[in-house]
Amino acid sequence: MTVVALSGGVGGAKLSLGLYRALPADALQVVVNTGDDFDLLHLRICPDLDTALYTLGDREHREQGWGRRDESWDLMGTLESLGEPMWFKLGDADTALHVLRTHRLRSGIRLTEVIDDVRRQFGIRARILPMTDCTVATRVETDDGELAFQEYFVRRRCEPRVRAIRFEGAATAHTTAEVLAALDAPELEAIVLCPSNPYLSIDPLLAVPDLRAALEKRRVPLIAVSPLIGNTAVKGPTAKIMAELGVASSATAIAAHYAGLIDALVIDTIDAQHAAHLPIPAFATQTLMRTLDDRVRLAEFVLARARELGR
């Protein structure tokens, strides 16, 4: 039996790691947002894919939420000394991956194949699949004008007020044969929508028409995990963006956001009182993932609920 996870950055990678440990090694396929991808110094950078690779490959920096452990910074220091303003951090080992990816993409290799080779070299037995090999770019319309995603997220630290978010190129993009095969596999048991930012990290996946269509015609339960605990997000600007978009930041609003797509929602114990008001089944548990045990336990909870729904 296999499971597909839909993931953005850190929160998604944490639950993906829990699923990877909770399932047989080859059973997990993680479909990852590529709307954050961008070019820096003509290097192609894919933050969410790299977070997935580093997290499942046991190389992630556990505190800072991006990049690698035991990283060195000589390349970036030299770039700064040569007059390049480095608002996006480029560790030496991290940059190796950017250089390799850029080289292989320019050589005509698909992003899906590039990432698949890296995850093998990292010893990861789960599949890590870009949501598309086409270029999709998340653009954030703010009070300070429209910003490219990394401009908004890293350079401006999510400070400008968000008015709208769009996914440039998504309407004409298509997902990959690998993603469609994963979603159509006879052995597929469940689809897990990870607790990533719905607006910035999951919506880009849903904006790719044939990926959305494949999710809608699934034959298995699609269960989401809310990124909110109480009225706030563990990390990142989810609650801030919901407020700016005029949406109450609550489990109810998350369920409404995914209405028509998900079969059930896993919410935090602290939000259990919302369960009765939701139009879909809601299951409360501790969703904060501090330790590896937390991740595995949440993954097992989500898988158990999905299996019950699938009966």
Q: Does 128 bind its own copies (CB under 8 A)?
A: no
Q: What count of residues does the chain have? A: 311
Query: Which helix or strand (DSSP H or E) is residue 300 part of?
Result: helix 292-310
Beta-strand runs (E) in 16-144: 28-32, 38-40, 43-45, 127-130, 137-142
Kindly state the DSSP code that residue 146 receives in the 8-state scheme.
E
Q: Which is nearer to its own copies, 79 or 288 (CB)?
A: 79
Write down the least CB distance from residue 53 to its own copies, Å.
11
* Contact range with its own copies by CB under 8 A, out of 68-76, 136-144, 186-194, 262-270: 68-76
Q: Which residue has the tokens 């997935």?
A: 52
The correct pick among 64, 121, 269, 273 for binding its own copies (CB under 8 A) is 121
DSSP designation for 151: I
Query: How far is CA 121 from each of CA 115, 116, 117, 153, 262, rounded to the nearest angstrom?
Result: 10, 9, 6, 30, 34
102 binds its own copies (CB under 8 A): yes
Q: Does 189 bind its own copies (CB under 8 A)?
A: no
84 touches its own copies (CB under 8 A): yes
User: Could you tell me whether strands 137-142 and 162-168 are parallel, antiparallel, or unpaired per DSSP bridges?
Assistant: antiparallel
* Residue 78 sits in the site that holds its own copies (CB under 8 A): yes
By CB under 8 A, residue 288 contacts its own copies: no
Q: Is 99 in the site for its own copies (CB under 8 A)?
A: yes
The verdict on 58 binding its own copies (CB under 8 A) reads no
Using CB under 8 A as the binding rule, whether residue 172 contacts its own copies is answered as: no
Count the Cβ atoms, other than its own, within 10 Å of residue 84.
Answer: 13
Closest CA relative to residue 292, chosen from 9, 30, 58, 52: 58
Q: Which stretch binds its own copies (CB under 8 A): 3-11, 21-29, 82-90, 208-216?
A: 82-90
Q: How far is the CB of 226 from its own copies (least distance, A)?
A: 36
**Could you tell me if 297 and 18 are in contact, meaning their C-beta atoms sit under 8 angstroms apart?**
yes
CB of 120 to its own copies, least distance (A): 9
For its own copies, the closer CB: 70 or 187 = 70
The residue ranges that bind its own copies (CB under 8 A) are 41-43, 71-72, 74-79, 81-84, 91-93, 95-97, 99-100, 102-103, 106-107, 117-118, 121
